[in-house]
C-alpha cells in the first residue's frame, strides 16, 4: 500500500474571508493565524500546520488534494511508476514545498483531470488546537490508528475505469466499496467508488462517475460526538447556509453526518462515528444503497 493518508486540500476561493469565516465559525476549524505571500490562509484541525489551504482566485474550486507517503522511498517509487506509465510528473520546487510544510512533493493529474500533490515529510505545529466553537477534537488519527488524514474527498471521475486503475494500480489506494445508488427512473447511472489509504478510515478518496463544476463532489471532516454534529447543524441553520443533505447515516463508512454548501460552492460533509477497518482480511463490497437512514439530498442538479 502506498498512500498513508489524504493530508490536505488546496481550495481556490473568490472570497477567502468568507471561506475562513465558514471554516472557523461553522465547521469549528482553527485559523492558523498566518497569510503567505500569495494571500493564502490556512485552517488547522490538529497538529498539522494546515489541513485546508484557502487561496485567493478568480474562480471557486478545488485546486489539489495532498496525498501523503510514509517516506522518500515510497514516494519516489510512485513517482517513478507514474513516469513509466506515461503520466507527467512535475517536481515541486523548494519554495512551494515550504509553503505546504513538506519535505518534498510532486504534482500529477489523474485521467479525469483532478490534480494531486504527492508528498512526504510533513512538519508539525506544536501549538494546541483551539477550536473557536469548542470542538473537542477532529478525528484525524491518534497513537493507535496513526495519521488518518483530514477526512475524505470525493472527486469527479467521468473517465471512471481509467481513473480507478490509476489510483489502485499506481497511486497506491485500495478498493473499499463500489456503490451504485438507486436513481430515479430515466436518470443516468450513478456510481461512487470508495478507496482507502494505509490507515483504518473506511475511505480517504472516492470517485464519482460524473463531472463537477467545483472539481470536487464533497469534502468530509469528522468530529468526536453526535452533539458536536448537531450543534454544527444548528450553526448552519442559524447562518442560513444551504443544507445539501439532512442528517443521516451512510451504510458503507457508518458516518452519521449532514452536508452543507461552503461559500463558492464546495459541499462539506460534517460527521461522526466513521467506521475504522482492519484491511488485513477485508473483501471489497458492492453496495446498492448509500444510507441506513436520513440524508435527504438536495444537491444542485
CB of 111 to Fe ion, least distance (A): 22
CB of 257 to Fe ion, least distance (A): 7
CB of 217 to Fe ion, least distance (A): 8
CB 138 within 8 A of CB 268: no
Residue identified by cell 468530509 is 220
Q: How many residues bind Fe ion (CB under 5 A)?
A: 2
CB 266 within 8 A of CB 218: yes
3-state helix, strand, coil in the chain (%, to 5): 20, 40, 40
220 binds Fe ion (CB under 5 A): yes
215 binds Fe ion (CB under 5 A): no
Contact region for Fe ion (CB under 5 A) — 9-17, 55-63, 105-113, 217-225? 217-225
Indicate the residue among 49 and 156 with the shorter CB distance to Fe ion: 156
Indicate the residue among 228 and 269 with the shorter CB distance to Fe ion: 269
Contact region for Fe ion (CB under 5 A) — 21-29, 97-105, 186-194, 219-227? 219-227
Strands (E), 98-168: 102-109, 115-122, 141-142, 146-147, 152-156
Alpha carbons 232 and 239: distance in angstroms, whole number:
11
CB of 176 to Fe ion, least distance (A): 12
Alpha carbons 97 and 105: distance in angstroms, whole number:
6
Indicate the residue among 89 and 275 with the shorter CB distance to Fe ion: 275
- SS3 track for 84-110: HCCCCCEECCHHHHHHHCEEEEEEEEC
Contact region for Fe ion (CB under 5 A) — 96-104, 118-126, 215-223, 292-300? 215-223
Indicate the residue among 78 and 157 with the shorter CB distance to Fe ion: 157
Indicate the residue among 92 and 151 with the shorter CB distance to Fe ion: 151
Residue identified by cell 463531472 is 211
CB of 154 to Fe ion, least distance (A): 6
CB of 259 to Fe ion, least distance (A): 8
Site residues for Fe ion, 255-274, by CB under 5 A, read 269
Indicate the residue among 131 and 202 with the shorter CB distance to Fe ion: 202
CB 268 within 8 A of CB 27: yes
Cβ contacts of residue 70 below 8 Å, gap of 6+?
4, 120, 198
117 binds Fe ion (CB under 5 A): no
Distance of CA 252 to the CA centre of its chain: 17
Q: Is the dihedral of CA 83, 197, 293, 261 positive or negative?
A: negative
- Contacts with Fe ion by CB under 5 A lie at 220, 269
Amino acid at each position: 500500500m502506498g498512500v498513508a493518508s489524504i493530508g490536505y486540500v488546496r481550495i481556490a476561493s473568490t472570497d477567502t474571508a468568507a471561506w475562513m469565516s465558514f471554516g472557523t465559525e461553522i465547521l469549528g476549524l482553527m485559523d492558523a493565524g498566518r497569510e503567505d505571500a500569495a494571500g493564502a490562509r490556512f485552517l488547522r484541525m490538529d497538529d498539522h500546520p494546515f489541513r485546508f489551504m484557502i487561496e485567493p482566485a478568480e474562480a471557486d474550486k478545488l485546486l489539489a488534494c495532498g496525498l501523503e507517503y510514509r517516506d522518500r522511498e515510497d514516494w519516489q517509487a510512485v513517482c517513478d511508476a507514474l513516469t513509466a506509465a506515461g503520466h507527467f510528473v512535475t517536481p515541486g520546487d523548494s519554495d512551494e514545498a515550504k509553503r505546504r510544510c513538506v519535505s518534498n512533493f510532486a504534482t500529477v493529474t489523474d485521467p479525469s483531470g483532478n490534480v494531486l500533490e504527492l508528498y512526504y515529510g510533513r512538519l508539525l505545529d506544536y501549538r494546541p488546537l483551539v477550536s473557536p466553537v469548542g470542538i473537542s477534537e477532529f478525528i484525524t488519527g491518534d497513537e493507535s490508528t496513526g495519521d488518518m488524514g483530514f477526512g475524505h474527498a470525493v472527486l469527479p471521475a467521468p473517465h471512471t475505469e481509467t481513473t480507478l486503475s490509476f489510483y489502485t494500480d499506481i497511486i497506491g489506494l485500495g478498493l473499499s466499496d463500489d456503490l451504485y445508488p438507486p436513481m430515479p427512473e430515466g436518470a443516468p447511472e450513478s456510481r461512487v467508488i470508495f478507496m482507502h489509504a494505509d490507515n483504518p478510515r473506511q475511505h480517504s478518496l472516492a470517485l464519482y462517475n460524473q463531472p463537477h463544476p467545483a472539481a470536487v463532489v464533497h469534502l468530509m471532516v469528522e468530529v468526536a460526538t453526535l452533539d458536536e454534529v448537531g450543534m454544527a447543524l444548528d450553526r448552519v441553520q442559524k447562518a442560513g447556509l444551504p443544507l445539501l443533505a439532512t442528517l443521516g447515516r451512510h451504510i458503507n463508512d457508518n458516518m452519521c453526518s449532514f452536508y452543507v454548501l461552503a461559500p463558492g460552492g464546495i459541499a462539506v460533509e460534517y460527521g461522526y462515528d466513521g467506521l475504522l477497518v482492519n484491511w488485513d482480511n477485508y473483501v471489497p463490497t458492492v453496495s446498492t444503497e448509500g444510507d441506513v437512514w436520513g440524508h435527504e439530498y438536495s444537491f444542485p442538479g
